[in-house]
Amino acid sequence: MVTICEMSDSDDDDVLQLSSHTLAALQEFYAEQKQHPDPSGDDKYNIGVIEENWQLSQFWYSQETALRLAKEAIAAAGEGGRVACVSTPSVYQKLRELRGELVSVCLFEFDRRFAVYGEDFIFYDYSHPLDLPGDVAAHSFDVVIADPPYLSADCLQKTAETVRYLTRGKILLCTGAVMEEEAARLLGVTPCSFLPTHRRVLANEFRCYANYDSGLGHDV
């Protein structure tokens, strides 16, 4: 533990100055606090309250995109419906802001920082697509919205296996444009005219897909 500090030589200056080591330790502490938000805070559902972890390939949607996708999920599920957010925490956060008692929502997510959301959080590792809690029944969600964390055929294939298990029929998928043919083969989805955006600019073209007549428009 670093306890070094420096006192001013001035007799009338009682300000305590931190050493560089102590300052670095404080900065590290505050950075850790940002990674572990207070679950009782008023802003706990704000997008970005949990920082992106690029090592986990996390890139949060823009507010506009999260809102549009959340509203579509609510419309697709219907009143009293169930929505599964698979690796889409920013959509989950926006749903929690909007939903009231309209729908129930579960977040299937690898990052355990999102466990601050209590029973809504279900740990999920796409590499084990059906390794889910026993109380998660097959075909128990009216709509599933998924965003595979990596742009690879393997990641999409395994995420698709989870999606097919969870959904009663309706699927929303957000992934790179390069995955269009594979997404169609695995999930029967087609591109929407709505183009999702992120808080940070991504190098890859990103698209939204659906397997039903959604309010996100049809690509022509």
* Residues across the chain: 220
Whether this model's pTM surpasses 0.95:
no
pLDDT values of the chain reduced to their tens digit, one per residue, 220 residues: 443 333 344 444 443 455 665 555 545 544 554 445 454 555 665 554 565 555 555 567 888 999 999 999 999 999 999 999 999 999 999 998 887 678 999 999 998 988 988 999 999 999 999 999 999 999 999 999 999 998 899 999 999 999 999 999 999 999 999 999 999 999 999 999 999 987 766 557 889 999 999 999 876 5
At 151, give phi and psi (nearest 5°): -85, 75
**Residue 14 burial (CB count, 10 A):** 8
Q: Tell me how far CA of residue 12 lies from CA of 5, 9, 17, 19, in angstroms.
A: 18, 9, 14, 20
